[in-house]
Chains A and B, each alone.
Chain A
Amino acid sequence: MEQLNGWFTDLLSNNAIFTANTLGFYWDGLVTTVQLVFLSLLIGVILAVPLAIGRGSKRRWIKLPIYAYTYVFRGTPLLIQLYLVYYGVVFFDGIQDSIFWVVFKEAFFPALIAFTLNTAAYTTEIFHGAIKNTAKGEIEAARAYGMSRKLMMRRIILPSAFRRALPAYGNEVIFMLHASAVASVVTIMDLTGAAYYVYARFYAPFDAFIFVALIYLCLTFSIMFLFRRLEKRLLAHLRPRGA
């Protein structure tokens, strides 16, 4: 440990790039990225549950608008969506004087809105697919018990669908983390923004980006680990017996 400590201080004092100052930039970037991704995923899930149920509705006036929404947001790049939300709102006359400007003046909220709408669209489709694939037997059993459609959705279909959606949703979380790198184009100092800054300041693209890549890898690894644990617990009943 002592040796490791010495090695680490040595490393820090012997390089011009990773000083306390730039590490501070990376740290702020990490906080911003985690905040942005976590909040957009959270709001995205809350939006996606009713949307996924509505997406499977038999009524066309419910089903079609939701389908159009997921189609548009899954069919266009996140970068374009971010540009439209961030720079697009400015073209509404008088927005600077309205109360909305509080939200749109800073870059954080437009980015949060774009990210949330994007991940909600993907999550809706993931949940919708899982709901649609609920085993017929489970539904028939619920009917045989005389459950109403609402009760059946709440007690049988959704709990089972969410569990089965878990692996796909874990991927979506990781994609979202990586997609959040585009936030730096609208001046947000996220992890990638910090890497750009260090790169430009020291003309050291390799060091700046390899360091940030390692941070992203650590984040991805933690997310994967978390989802593995969750899957193990929640999908235990689907594993072959004795395994």
Chain B
Amino acid sequence: MKKLLTTSLLGAALIAGVAQAQDTEQLRIGVDVPYEPMEYRTPEGELTGFDIELGNALCAQIKAECEWVVQAWDGIIPGLLARKYDAIMSSMTINDERRQTVLFSDPYIKPPSAWFAAADSGIDTVYPESLKGKTIGVQRGTLQDNYVTDMYGDDADISRYSTADDLVLDMDAGRVDIAFLDFPVGKSTLLDSKEGNYVTVGDMISEPEKYFGEGFGIAFRPRDKELANRFDDALATLKQNGTYDEIYDKYFKVK
């Protein structure tokens, strides 16, 4: 009797669950916070950031109800495979190693790098000729380091720092004329914290792929091809109708 009751209850719950799923699709997305400005919490504890806003917009576009699941980076792919969530949107760089275990959407952003110089430096272009004899600061071993070494190595002096903080100290000291950094890093350490003293020079840079990679992608379980395709279509639509640019400008545009 007891067994029968349990079974029927379970069955009822199942039917209810299926019925609900047919109303609106429920999706869960894994994310590791904080990684400003891609994903972080507001002082009130709300999740926000570029990934979160774009992810919500994508979900709205495919008419799904999305729930964000916070998961530490180490276990983020195992969590996806274990069905704790259905996708990962957490500034994950697309590469061949990860392609072996997950399915990636089209890249939705290439995190831009940018040039930063003191407002009164007089540097307004970043051609190798205009940086001749100047000192360029980079973080050692980053993709910015590789790019600058190959493109500017013959013309400019390159100072390599182990942390962005050391580089900022030497920018303040006047030992470095111009820095080439991940835009979010430079924005928070140079533009925002010393307002008015520093400016970006030239355009943001995220090409060529050889240096700057394929960009960030949303990861799915390999069998969820159909879901990945729907996200790709939704991303294309958002790029067309201006929603994408709106979110991008909010986080990456210099005021």
Contact = CB atoms under 8 A, between A and B. Distances in A.
B63 interface: no
Interface string B119-158: 0000000000000000000001110011000000000000
B174 interface: yes
A107 B169 CA distance: 13
B103 to A, nearest CB: 25
B172 A199 contact: no
Interface in A136-158: none
A196 B173 contact: no
B237 interface: no
B159 interface: yes
B175 A196 contact: no
A185 B161 CA distance: 7
A200 interface: yes
B161 A87 contact: no
Question: Interface residues of A: mostly helix, strand, loop or mixed?
Answer: helix
B112 to A, nearest CB: 21
Given A196-B140, A199-B141, A187 B160 contact: yes
A193 B166 CA distance: 16
Nearest to A106: B175
Question: Which of B141, B146, B172 has the most A CB atoms < 10 Å from its CB?
Answer: B141
B140 A200 contact: yes
B160 A193 contact: yes
Contacts, number: 35
Contact of B140 (A90, A101, A105, A197): A197
Q: Which of A96, A189, A200 has the most CB of B within 10 A?
A: A200
B145 A200 contact: yes
A202 B208 CA distance: 18
B160 A105 contact: no
Contacts of A187: 159-161, 170
Interface residues of A, number: 16
A232 interface: no
A87 B169 contact: yes
A200 B142 CA distance: 8
B161 A96 contact: no
B160 to A, nearest CB: 6
B243 interface: no
Q: Does more than half of chain B's interface fall in helix, strand or loop, or is it mixed?
A: mixed
Contact of B172 (A90, A101, A107, A201): A90
A198 to B, nearest CB: 10
A165 B174 CA distance: 43
A201 B146 contact: yes
B162 A185 contact: yes
A105 B175 contact: yes
Given A185-B162, A197-B140, A90 B145 contact: no
A60 to B, nearest CB: 39
Interface in A182-200: 185, 187, 189, 193, 196-197, 199-200
B169 A201 contact: no
Interface in B156-208: 159-162, 166, 169-170, 172-175
Contacts of A185: 162, 166
Quick one: which of B145, B166, B173 has the most chain A CB within 10 A? Answer: B173
A193 B162 CA distance: 11
Interface in A28-52: none
A200 B173 contact: no
Contacts of B172: 90
A96 B170 CA distance: 12
A185 B169 CA distance: 13
Contacts of B162: 185
A181 to B, nearest CB: 13
Given A90-B169, A106-B175, A107-B175, 9 more contacts: A90-B172, A105-B174, A185-B162, A196-B160, A199-B141, A200-B141, A200-B142, A201-B141, A201-B146
Interface of A: 87, 90, 96, 101, 105-107, 185, 187, 189, 193, 196-197, 199-201
14 contacts: A87-B173, A90-B169, A90-B172, A90-B173, A96-B174, A185-B162, A185-B166, A187-B160, A193-B160, A196-B140, A197-B140, A197-B141, A200-B140, A200-B145
Interface of B: 140-142, 145-146, 159-162, 166, 169-170, 172-175
Closest 10 CB pairs of A and B: A200-B141, A90-B173, A187-B159, A96-B174, A87-B169, A105-B175, A200-B140, A187-B160, A196-B140, A187-B161
